[in-house]
Structure 1
Amino acid sequence: MLESLYIENFAIINQIQIDFHSGMTVLTGETGAGKSIIIDAIGQLLGQRTQPNFVKENRDYAYIEGVFTSNEKINTLLDEMHIPSDTQLIVSKKITKDGKSSIKINYRSTTQMLLKTVMSNLVDIHSQFETHQLFKQSYHLQVLDDYCGKKLSILKEKYFNNFNQYKKLEKEYKQLKNEELSDEQYDFYLSQKNEIDELHLDDFDEEEFIKERNELNNFEKNAKHISQYKNIMDSSKGMMSLFKDGLNELASIDSSKIQDLHDQLYDAYYSIEGINDDIYDYLQLSNFSEERYNEVQDTYFKLNKLKRKYGASIENILDFRAELDKKIQYFENRESVISTLESKLKTNQENAFKIALDISKLRQENALILENEVKEILKDLYLPQVDFKFQFEKTNLTENGMDSVCIVVSTNVGQVAKPLQKIASGGELSRIMLAIKTACQHNENNTIIFDEADTGVSGKVAESIGKIMKEISKNQQVICITHLAQVACFANHHLQISKQLKSNDTNVKITILSDEDSIIELAKMISGKEITEQSIAHAKQLKKNNV
């Protein structure tokens, strides 16, 4: 569930902090007060697209942070993404005025895609816009599969692995079947394979090889420097020779003081000569091999050549060689290879088809249950005459199995069921979507947000919508934006959203309403700005009946 929300410099909001609770929370206020802006801010934490105009005018950035109750499924996802997990999930998004954004989950930077993956398991926003998803046939299959739950997920994963292998084999089979190799092509493949095999890359440790090459290269450079040093020090006119000549000149001076200094320099001369011998021994004692150095350089040159021709890494080169092996084998044993591939292809297709049948059977069984649940909920929403069905058609194997699924409805008795976008009105669509959402709510600790899902209804229909939202809130957190007192009266928590104008600036204010204040707000929603005794009495009655 959503525990708290902090918003700063977002749209017309300066800074607000909202604490949420379990049960049902309603947000009410006049049109344009900023209710939907709060839902937009939550949407940013779910991975919705960022827009530059989200940043408040004359501000450099907008910042949104939400604290959510985590669960085992979320923590497993976070562990897979190498993000720290805990009992709470802290999600933040910073949007700069140029439209760029930075996202963090538990204070670890992440991407929009990963944010969507995580939050899709935690929060669901039901809005007027989302109702239009019912027009997309792909959404119909998604609804049904979500309802089928874990058992279907396991089957689909098994099917997906088989289907992918089947498509891979099918592609390979078609390529080999259509490729007619000439003798020249065969010789070319053999020459490529021999070129690769020359380096014995199967057991090649590239890291150790590069390390050895660096050491050999360093030795060559070091040897060059030592050779130059030796030439400076030990040539006929080198420093050591000149040093010795200088010592001989000093030795001819008849002075005890100079003789003492001469002796010190003489000792230094032989000390330097000893150090030089150690330096020269470095070259003699090294394991450097000119032959090995040339061999390594040659291998390095050939390896880079292979990378340029066949792939950027040894793994890519070996994959390329594996493809060559298949082509060569195919050329040498064409009939046998095709026969083996046909057999594998047939087996894999049969396995995929068998699992697809199991998936289809499970879908159809659950479709009947879901249809009945939706129709029962629609009765409560004053649409008793609506017939709601999942229409199945068999297709060729696809990544989703062998089913094409379409939701069809008839809104009047005796009417032929048709795709709902062709037959349902706006108010009916909204209620059908609400019924689907209600029937498909299995997950506890999740949050469902209804953003004016009661648009286009009133009276007893609105009351039935509020009753259903209240029922959902027994198992998961419900946050609802509404203009209808018949819906708002069911709330456990009531937040009033208002707009404030101050010093040429517009800001949004959140007020937590007490039971008494909530009744006044409900009365205002019933009768408008002028609150009457009758509207207060009506509001009290709504509260009393539906708390």
Structure 2
Amino acid sequence: MSINNLAVIENLQIDFKENLNVISGETGAGKSILVDALALLLGARAATDLIRTGAQRALVEGAFEFDNDVLEKIRSLLERFGVEVEEGKIFIRREIHVANRSRLFINDQIANLAALRTIAPYLVEIHGQGEQYALGAVGEQMRFLDDFAGCQDLRRQVAQAYANWKAAGESLEEFRRKVSEHARAGEVVAYQLRELETIAPLPGEDEELTAEKVLLANAEKAYELSHNAYAELYETDKNVIERLSLVKRRVQDLAAIDPRVAPDVEALEAAILTLTDVAESFRGYNERIDFSPVRLDKIEERLAELERLKRKHNLDLVELVELKGDLQQRLNEMSDATERMEAHRAALADASQNYRELSRRLTKERRTAASLLEQRVETELAEVAMGRTRFVIGVTTAEERAGDEKFVEKRELGDEERIPEASYWTANGADSIEFLISVNEGESVRALSRVASGGEFSRLMLTLHTVCRASGTGDVRDEEPTLVFDEIDAGVSGRVAEAVGQRLRALAAQRQILCVTHQAQIARFAKHHFVVSKNVKDGRTFAAIQELSDEERIGELARLIGGAEDVTTTRETARWLLESAEKVVVRDKRNKKARRK
């Protein structure tokens, strides 16, 4: 993370590591500003009063690395907002300008806060004084319970069943829409089909009729020409065939004198036969000529009818024949609409029934897990100074939330069972999950945000993560974000801080954790220890951060213990805390027993 001109931070860069990163420092040194900067990278409101005095803008940049599967999920989410992700990291930059405007960039592409807040759950969860970025959301409470219950597979089945149910409903509505449209257009379709069936156009018919019309219109002239041709060839005095026959006889006489012209005699005989066939063809043609004006009128009427049909539909005869088939198909669809409607209804009823059965199974598993999780959380909370806490998980179904007045009959589905309104059913099942808590004896349980302080909320979050991780049923998910605990040790004793530190270290074995603390008992468990310091130069305050070496950590632990860094006894205590941290094991017999079960 890189920070420029944010409050007392002029220029700061920090590379958080894997496992547990602890941040300590004097009060007012700027530790909370680091958390504020992270909050900006998650979509928090960018207030101009965060800009360092005298600067024109503040800048916060963060680089996040993910496993490939998680990166693909984030890439898919950002694509909806037009943001492309090509590299293996996500780079986020927030700019706050004194002109009361801010800008957001994701991978150097301008983006809006909606896009950032959509991917924020994959980035960081902040828990601290006044800011909670996770458990307050109903979806996160459900996730914790489902992770603890180990019912992810069943939840995926419910999600698929829900998608199938919605798809079946949409298919039914689409079919109803088509039936309605067909009903309105039914008379027009039937009329058009009757018209096409009555006229019955044939492909190429207009061309054939046009040719016949031309012939009929010129029948008298065609008769005269064909008759004269026949007569000249065969019928008149000195016709062509007769004269050619005379020529043939003379050539025959010549062939008797000179045999070399014999082939010419054969050629003349062939010509006479050919011309005789031609003459007969003209005679037949002449006899077939129709002088009927009635036929001509019928052809003209038919052509006019076909032309009107072509203009009406703006189609040629081939396309009109295809249209006839399409119209017939539409009428057939209308005729079997009732049967198909019943099939759609049956499919919807089956999908709905399957979804509800799976949802009921999921509800049962959640309620069983909720009872166990309540006990485990209360037991764990007792170890972190919240022994009087009552923790309750409310699991209410759609039926319980809706009440009878919200139910509707779905008789069109052929299903007499009463079904809640669709808004009560989701891809996550029919349940509403709510975590309730009472931190004081005698007080009724209430929503978390209305009861728990920042420190209590942080310890509750730590407990939930610890219990779910150690349950032996919940999955360790690839998309677990970085956890940030801001002053989780507020108002607790050293013994409690020790318990908190042990749990932080155990949890950090599976994910990155950042923890702001004032307690040496927590800081001792860090894999990486950073100190925020503040100094004044030329009348200006500057904050800085550095990662401590092992020897430097001893001095910082000594300061946190409450003694001077250079006091021998305090440093020896600090050294012992640091060295013994590696030997500390969180002992929880109940957890082990639960895992064996």
**Normalised by the shorter chain, which TM-score bucket?**
0.5 to 0.7
Deviations 1:2-40 (A, max 9, x none): xxx111122221111112222222111122211111111
One-letter amino acid of the counterpart of residue 95, structure 1: I
Aligned-partner Cα distance in 1 for 2:19–2:48: 34
Aligned: 1:111 with 2:133: no
2:519 alignment partner, one of 448, 472, 484: 484
**1:456-508 Cα shifts (integer Å, max 9, x gaps):** 21221111001111111212222110111221121122211122222332221
- In the alignment, which of 530, 549, 552 is matched to residue 517 of structure 1? 552
Q: Give the letter for the 2:425 counterpart.
A: T
CA shift, 1:62, in A, is 1.9
Q: 1:464 aligns with which of 479, 494, 499?
A: 499
Q: CA deviation at 1:44?
A: 1.9
- 2:362 paired residue number: 359
Cα gap change, 1:39/1:408 in structure 2, threshold over 3 Å: closer, same or farther? Answer: closer
More displaced 10-residue stretch of structure 1: 352-361 or 527-536:
527-536
1:49 counterpart = 2:45? yes
Counterpart residue number, 2:159:
157
Classify 1:440/1:61 alpha carbon distance in 2 versus 1 (closer, same or farther; 3 Å): farther
What TM-score, normalized to structure 2? 0.57
Q: CA RMSD in A?
A: 4.4
User: How far apart, CA to CA, are the structure 2 residues paired with 1:89 and 1:152?
Assistant: 32
Residue in 2 that maps onto 1:282: none
**Per-residue deviation, 1:544:** 2.6
Task: For 1:14 and 1:416, locate their aligned partners in 2 and report how far apart those are by CA, in whole Å.
Answer: 46
Equivalent residues of 1:93, 1:104 under 8 A apart: no
Residues 200-243 of structure 1 deviation map (CA, whole Å, 9 limit, x = unaligned):
xxxxxxxxxxxxxxxxxxxxxxxxxxxxxxxxxxxxxxxxxxxx
What is the DSSP-based 3-state SS (H/G/I as helix, E as strand, rest coil) of the residue aligned with 1:125?
A: strand
For 2:380, the equivalent position in structure 1 comes to 377
Q: 1:416 to 1:337 in 2, by over 3 A?
A: farther
CA contact (8 A) 1:131 1:433 kept: no
Contact kept, 8 Å, 2:377 with 2:467, in 1: the verdict is yes
- SS of residue matched to 2:357: helix
d(CA) in 2 for partners of 1:170 and 1:417? 48
Q: How far apart, in 2, do the equivalents of 1:20 and 1:34 lie? A: 17
Q: Quick one: structure 1 residues 539 and 108, their matched pair in 2 at CA, closer, same or farther if it must change by over 3 Å?
A: same
> Match of 2:122, SS?
coil
Residue of structure 1 equivalent to 2:128: 127
The alignment partner of 1:363 has SS state of helix
1:34 touches 1:499 (CA, 8 Å); kept in 2? yes
In structure 2, C-alpha distance between the alignment counterparts of 1:18 and 1:140, rounded to whole Å: 32
Q: Distance in 1 between matches of 2:136 and 2:119?
A: 26
Is 1:95 matched up with 2:96?
yes
Between the aligned partners of 1:508 and 1:124, the Cα distance in structure 2 is 24
1:508 aligns with one of 543, 566, 583: 543
C-alpha distance in structure 2 between counterparts of 1:510 and 1:359, whole Å: 48
Report whether the alignment pairs 1:391 with 2:418.
no
Matched letter for residue 398 of structure 1: W
Tell me the CA shift for residue 126 of structure 1: 2.2
The 1:61/1:409 distance shift into structure 2, 3 A limit, reads closer
For 1:440 and 1:108, locate their aligned partners in 2 and report how far apart those are by CA, in whole Å. Answer: 37
Secondary structure at the counterpart of residue 39 of structure 2: helix
Distance 1:112 1:364, change over 3 A: same
Alpha-carbon distance in 1 for matches of 2:397, 2:350: 21
Amino acid at match of 2:44: Q
Question: What is the Cα deviation at residue 418 of structure 1?
Answer: 3.9
Q: 1:152 to 1:500 in 2, by over 3 A?
A: farther
Give, as a single letter, the amino acid of the residue that structure 2 aligns with 1:49.
R
- CA offsets 1:238-258 (integer angstroms, 9 cap, x no match): xxxxxxxxxxxxxxxxxxxxx
Larger radius of gyration: 2
Match of residue 538 from structure 1 = 573
Name the residue aligned to 1:271: none
User: 2:529–2:553: 8 Å Cα contact kept in structure 1?
Assistant: yes
Match runs of 1:306-455 below 5 Å: 343=346, 346-367=349-370, 370-371=373-374, 373-375=376-378, 377-381=380-384, 388-395=391-398, 396=420, 397-399=424-426, 400-408=428-436, 418-419=445-446, 421=448, 426=453, 428-440=456-468, 442-443=476-477, 446-455=481-490
Q: 1: CA distance between counterparts of 2:7 and 2:575? A: 35
Change in CA separation of 1:15 and 1:425 when aligned onto 2, cut-off 3 Å? closer
Read off the aligned partner of 2:529 and give its amino acid letter.
H
Q: Which amino acid aligns with 1:405?
A: I
Comparing 134-143 with 386-395, which one deviates more in the overlay?
134-143
Within 1, Cα distance between the matches of 2:170 and 2:364? 26
Q: 1:140-289, aligned counterparts within 5 Å?
A: 140-145=141-146, 147=148, 148=150, 150-162=152-164, 164-165=166-167
Q: Give ranges in structure 1 of 5+ residues lacking alignment.
A: 195-298, 300-324
Q: CA deviation at 1:423?
A: 11
Per-residue deviation, residues 40-98 of structure 1 (Å, max 9, x unmatched): 11222223332222332332222222233221123313543263444443333333222
Give the gaps of 5 or more residues in structure 2: 193-313, 315-329, 399-419, 470-475, 583-597
String of CA shifts for 1:326-353, please: whole Å, max 9, x gaps.
xxx99x9999898777655534432331
**Structure 2 residue aligned with 1:289:** none
Preserved contact between residue 50 and residue 101 of structure 1 (Cα < 8 Å): no
The alpha-carbon deviation at position 136 of structure 1 amounts to: 6.7
- Equivalent residue number for residue 35 of structure 1: 31
CA apart distance, 1:162:
4.1
Specify the code of the residue in structure 2 equivalent to 1:89. I
Q: Distance in 1 between matches of 2:450 and 2:31?
A: 31
| 1:474 aligned partner | 509
CA–CA distance in 1 between the matches of 2:580 and 2:119? 39
1:33 counterpart SS class? coil
Supply the distance in 1 between the matched residues of 2:491 and 2:466 (Cα, whole angstroms).
19
Q: Which moved more, 1:367-376 or 1:472-481?
A: 367-376
How far the C-alpha of 1:190 sits from its partner, in A, is 8.2
Q: Secondary structure at the match of 1:129?
A: coil
